Amino acid sequence: MSNPRWRPPALLAKASLAALLALAVAFPEWDRFADKAMGARAVAYPAAALLVTLVWALRGRGKPFPWDIDLLVTAPFLIDVAGNAADLYDTVGWFDDACHFGNWALLCAAAGIALRRWGGLNSWTLALCCAGIGAVAAICWEVAEYGLFILDTPEATTAYRDTIGDLVLGLTGAVTAGVVIALTARRRSVDERLDVVPGDLFDERRRPRDADAGHDVVRPDVPAGRALRAEGDASRGEDHGQQVVQGSGVRQ
């Protein structure tokens, strides 16, 4: 179940993405936005940021909204537009490589968490799925990048080397995210095998409203239980004795 504490940063990320895209559309002549296909980004990035909302709505809205996954999906697109707005792609040599690694790690972490939460996959199957998803996404990105930025430009002479490097970084980020998600899922499965009574005070999955509703379940205390049972037996014995005396007509 998603923690609602991720809701404010997820909404802030969406608002920031919208504001930066509006800035890029309003001032396309700025060097940091020129020849960066910001018009295409202004259409594709909001659609990608709303992908989690669309899937959640199609599933019937029966479960809490996954704000953590939503934030992980939105963050890479925000980072990309913010990097262009700050002119980091043209002024910081390693920024593009860092984005190809980090953004793919974020996207694949979102996919891995979703698969772990609803797919019922084991830990290392999750890692392989994250790597596969990352590879497909990286290939699709490079194809789009080639068509939008590189074709019929001077960068075509270095496109092959740049594309291979970007694919390697994207795949590495995806594999890293997959391994992290797999290790987290493995640790969680170990925790679930511990002696935890579902719904009790030691169960991390216990919902906060359970305490307010009086649904807390405490582990049985054997000595205390015996003492209470003995006290109950004594009370019943005393009541029984009183009934016998009263039935005999003897005054107390």
Average pLDDT, integer, range 96-115: 91
Highest mean pLDDT among 144-153, 205-214, 238-247: 144-153
- The span from the CA of 234 to the CA of 173, in Å, is 69
Is 123 domain-assigned? yes
What residue type is 64 in one-letter code? P
Cα-Cα end-to-end distance for the chain? 64
| pLDDT at 108 exceeding the cut of 80 | yes
Which residues form the domain of 77?
4-176
Least confident of 111-115, 156-160, 219-223: 219-223
Phi and psi, residue 200, nearest 5°: -85, 180
Is 60 domain-assigned? yes
Is 131 domain-assigned? yes
Give SS3 for 62.
coil
Give SS3 for 40.
helix
Is 23 domain-assigned? yes
Q: How confident is the model at residue 141 (pLDDT cuts 50, 70, 90)?
A: confident
Within 13 Å of residue 181, how many CA atoms lie on the same side as its CB? 30
Q: How confident is the model at residue 178 (pLDDT cuts 50, 70, 90)?
A: confident
Q: What is the pLDDT at residue 16?
A: 97
Is 77 domain-assigned? yes
- The span from the CA of 185 to the CA of 226, in Å, is 40
**pTM exceeds 0.85:** no
DSSP 8-state code for residue 205: T
- The predicted-structure confidence for 47-58, as pLDDT tens digits, reads as follows 999 999 999 999
Within 13 Å of residue 202, how many CA atoms lie on the same side as its CB? 9
Is 184 domain-assigned? no
Q: How confident is the model at residue 194 (pLDDT cuts 50, 70, 90)?
A: very low
- The span from the CA of 72 to the CA of 55, in Å, is 15
In total, how many domains does the chain have? 1
Is 234 domain-assigned? no
Is 251 domain-assigned? no
How high does pLDDT run on average in the chain? Answer: 76
Beta bridge partners of 217: 200
